[in-house]
Structure 1
Amino acid sequence: MAVAQQTFSQEVAEESPGRDTLQSINIKNVLSFGPEGIGPHGLELRPLNILIGDNGGGKSNFLDVLQLLRAAALGFLPAHIAASGGVRNWRWRGNSAEQASSIEVSVRSAANDSGLKLRYSLSFIEEETFGLKIIDEKLDGTETESGHNYDHTYLEYRDGHPYLVAREAGRKLGKLTKNANFNPQSNETALAQMRYFPEYGNVVSIGFLFDSSRFYLDWDFGRNAAVRRYANIDERAFMPHKGVLSLPGRGSGLLSEDAGNLAAVLDFLRDEQRNPGLRQKIRDYLREFYIYADDIEIEEIGSPPDALRLVLHETNLPNPTPVSRMSEGTLQWLALLAVLLDPNPAPLICLEEPEVNLHPDAIHLLARLLKEASRRSQIIVTTHSDYLLEEFTRSPEDVVVVGRRKGATTMKRLDREELASLLKKYTLSQLWDRGFIGGNK
């Protein structure tokens, strides 16, 4: 069955007028990333980024670094690092104690019409007494007005302390000062606290980009998975999609990272009043994925109802299949639909090997979903699937090859022009299998 066309908000013709976008990133001396980083200018990121490469190359480490930035934006950097083994486990194993670990990102902000481009960098070392020690943090940007570019510094370290721009009445920017009301802990980021100062306005949108991002990395759809339990009916009370200031989880209007609120999210998305046409689109994608599927239903359990249960209706069967008995592949597909068809998604969505549990015949549907979703959100995907890679033969620039050189991770985006002659003879997956683009043994 073909998926209905031009029904869901005119195929998102009226998409969000703008979104914060991660433009580039460079990583040095963090996890498998060495002192040379990803390159002199880092890795440029596109709306859709497909990461391929051999096991142990660093694909998962790349996503871990993005999660680290989320923790930095939320104010949980020390706790996040401690929970994942401490600072030493985060530092490149080839460096000496004197070399700092650093992350640099650039973001295009959609918060205003002046084309604000923000750059944020964070450097830290391992300190013997306290473990994590931030030694440098900087936030600056370029604003375009009347055809001219204006560079501004909003935050930088001096003598081991963060200094902020002091804003004065009637002026956009003042001088860098040590704000008396701004006193972050030495092992916490200044970025996490900047957003509580309204005078910095749009500048802190870089923090909201990361703290609103979603990471679907260790999905579990097995027999004891959270998604197979009844959802609390209170999860219908959604908060706004954007600017969520809480840890990723339920109640945000987005699928939680364990997919435990799937029933509530699908119930919300299928509301015809809120999202005209989306209910039918979810059904069409489900039926194309599983030919025996008719539709899903969200049942209220209890009297008065206190829980939600997801069930699957199949053709020629009078009784539905409860969520506890659905196949792992079907549940994962429904979770992918909840993430990738959301009209108001997280600004950054990371998916680790979303093809797992899916039949190879469904991979072209997954690719279609990813391409469509990248018009509303920025998507980063890791994969080992040559079937999925095949779907990007016409857009090789969406693919990033991850490898190792001298014990450090390398990342290179494919170039359409460089591959033009080869792509006349081979598909991308064939080039990968033959070793023409790297990312394999």
Structure 2
Amino acid sequence: MALITLAVSGYRSLRSLVLPLERLNVVTGANGSGKSSLYRSLRLLADVAQGQAIASLAAEGGLRSTMWAGGAGYSSAMRSGRSPMQGNVGRGPVSLRLGFASEDYGYAIDLGLPIPGPGASREEGSLFGDDPVVKAEAVWAGERLSRFNVIARRGNASVLVQDKSGRLRPVVSDLAPFETMMMRAADPTNAVELLFLRERMKAWRFYDHFRIDRDAPSRIPRIGTRTVALASDGSDLAPAVQTVREIGDGPAFDDAIEDAFPGSSVEIDAVNGLFRLSMRQGGLQRALDASELSDGTLRYIALATALHTPRPPELMVLNEPEGSLHPNLLEPLARMIAAASQRSQIIVVSHAQALVEALAEHGAQMLALEKESGETIVRNIGVPAWEWPER
């Protein structure tokens, strides 16, 4: 099921952002407008299902460094967008909230900092005292949370799940503050909806850093097995292309390569289990090995492979796919993304105007981010109704 609403509150410049989503969406805006923050917030939401949200926040410098910095005391540089919004200078409770609603289920989580016990000191307590904890969490049926459609919610150390009679009953009573319902309560017997939602979130795919440098794994022969989803760094490119050809829509992949590089084709050879990618181009006497391809050509092949996956995810997010691409490739890329949006919901984050305009011609929803007093906003869109779970 496609996402229809994305909500983020308290993350960097995203003080309170609720966005409607369509099948094909383009997030654009000037440098510093919040595109990267929106992309990272989506990844954080996916990390919840992987049990990696706290580790991901730690990699960003901890919860405090990612908090909305608005309120009294931020500088004129932050207000104008010349300086990143970091640190929490407000006096309210620390809160980072992430959520989404799809056509059938919704989910939201509220992360904060632990409250020390009476008289506790850092030396007497845990060394993990700066790790965020889960303050609230809920799963519901439909587009908007209400007290009438809750399927599962967190209650301190308990997880309450709706039973057959419609009542919420505890299925877990020893949930640690750093654990989510997704990590502990999702099971096929007592909380099948949680399990279903977790697996859907885990299947979201993100592509933002294809390795295309001289030492990239995709440039050298490597052991290959059937690969229904290209790795996020493109390292298993050759076997992924062959998988598309054998169990996916190989002709559509070949047409996409021809559309971008007329007279060219991608070839895969396998010797002693080692898969090798090359590209045959018109006018050349031999195929060019992957090690000889330009950065832009290799990236485009990786994008074509990801978008022609034989197992399309419900959601695919492409972060600045235009990197290293020649301007002439942006129109074919837009056509390829638009075709893929018939199989997966797609969010493209881009500042390439030519790509943005080409996607708009294919019916993509434009989400143009702006900064206003340091806060990321989107003008001229209808803001969906949204409610956060109470702490």
Same fold judged by TM-score > 0.5?
yes
SS at match of 1:29: strand
On the 8 A contact 1:184/1:193 being kept in 2, the answer is: yes
Partner residue, 2:100: 105
Partner residue, 1:367: 334
Residue type matched to 1:155 in 2? A
- Partners of 1:318 and 1:297 in 2: how far apart? 14
Partner residue, 1:209: 200
SS at match of 1:105: strand
Residue type matched to 1:131 in 2? D
Partner residue, 2:124: none
Structure 1 spans left out of the alignment, 5+ residues:
1-19, 109-116, 144-148, 239-252, 416-441
Q: Does 2:37 match 1:70?
A: no
In the alignment, which of 294, 298, 308 is matched to residue 327 of structure 1? Answer: 294
- Of all paired residues, the percent bearing the same amino acid is 25
Partner residue, 1:249: none
In the alignment, which of 51, 54, 61 is matched to residue 85 of structure 1? Answer: 61
SS at match of 2:233: coil
Residue type matched to 1:183 in 2? D
> TM-score w.r.t. structure 1 length?
0.73
Q: CA deviation at 1:174?
A: 4.3
- Partners of 1:300 and 1:61 in 2: how far apart? 41
In the alignment, which of 359, 363, 381 is matched to residue 348 of structure 2? Answer: 381
Alignment RMSD (CA, Å): 2.4
Partner residue, 1:47: 23
Residue type matched to 1:139 in 2? V
On the 8 A contact 1:57/1:404 being kept in 2, the answer is: yes
Q: Deviations over 1:130-166 (max 9, x none)?
A: 42111111111149xxxxx9943222233x2343225
Q: CA deviation at 1:194?
A: 3.1
- Partners of 1:322 and 1:59 in 2: how far apart? 35
Partner residue, 2:110: 123
SS at match of 1:178: strand
Q: Does 2:263 match 1:266?
A: no
Q: Does 2:159 match 1:163?
A: yes
Q: Does 2:150 match 1:153?
A: yes
- Partners of 1:152 and 1:386 in 2: how far apart? 42
Q: Does 2:186 match 1:186?
A: no
After superposition, residues 263-342 of structure 1 pair within 5 angstroms as 263-271=238-246, 274-275=247-248, 278-293=249-264, 295-301=265-271, 305-342=272-309
On the 8 A contact 2:134/2:177 being kept in 1, the answer is: yes
Q: Does 2:135 match 1:135?
A: yes
Does the C-alpha gap of structure 1 residues 281 and 118 become closer, same or farther in structure 2, counting only changes over 3 Å? closer
Residue type matched to 1:254 in 2? A
Structure 2 spans left out of the alignment, 5+ residues:
71-87, 117-128, 383-391
Residue type matched to 2:137 in 1? E
Partner residue, 1:242: none
- Partners of 1:212 and 1:298 in 2: how far apart? 27
SS at match of 2:262: coil
On the 8 A contact 1:75/1:193 being kept in 2, the answer is: no
On the 8 A contact 1:165/1:173 being kept in 2, the answer is: no
Count of residue pairs the alignment pairs up: 348
> TM-score w.r.t. structure 2 length?
0.82
Q: CA deviation at 1:414?
A: 5.7
Q: CA deviation at 1:367?
A: 1.1
On the 8 A contact 2:109/2:137 being kept in 1, the answer is: yes
On the 8 A contact 1:346/1:377 being kept in 2, the answer is: yes
On the 8 A contact 1:209/1:348 being kept in 2, the answer is: no
SS at match of 1:402: strand
On the 8 A contact 1:298/1:309 being kept in 2, the answer is: yes
Does the C-alpha gap of structure 1 residues 190 and 358 become closer, same or farther in structure 2, counting only changes over 3 Å? same
After superposition, residues 390-429 of structure 1 pair within 5 angstroms as 390-394=357-361, 398-412=365-379
- Partners of 1:196 and 1:292 in 2: how far apart? 51
Partner residue, 1:257: 232
Partner residue, 1:199: 190
SS at match of 2:31: coil
Q: Deviations over 1:350-377 (max 9, x none)?
A: 1111122222222111111111111110
- Partners of 2:259 and 2:362 in 1: how far apart? 24
SS at match of 1:299: strand
Residue type matched to 2:113 in 1? E
Q: CA deviation at 1:406?
A: 1.8
Q: CA deviation at 1:212?
A: 0.8
- Partners of 1:166 and 1:392 in 2: how far apart? 42
After superposition, residues 13-32 of structure 1 pair within 5 angstroms as 20-32=1-13
Does the C-alpha gap of structure 1 residues 104 and 393 become closer, same or farther in structure 2, counting only changes over 3 Å? closer
- Partners of 1:75 and 1:183 in 2: how far apart? 17
SS at match of 1:336: helix
SS at match of 1:164: strand
Does the C-alpha gap of structure 1 residues 339 and 161 become closer, same or farther in structure 2, counting only changes over 3 Å? same
- Partners of 2:11 and 2:158 in 1: how far apart? 22
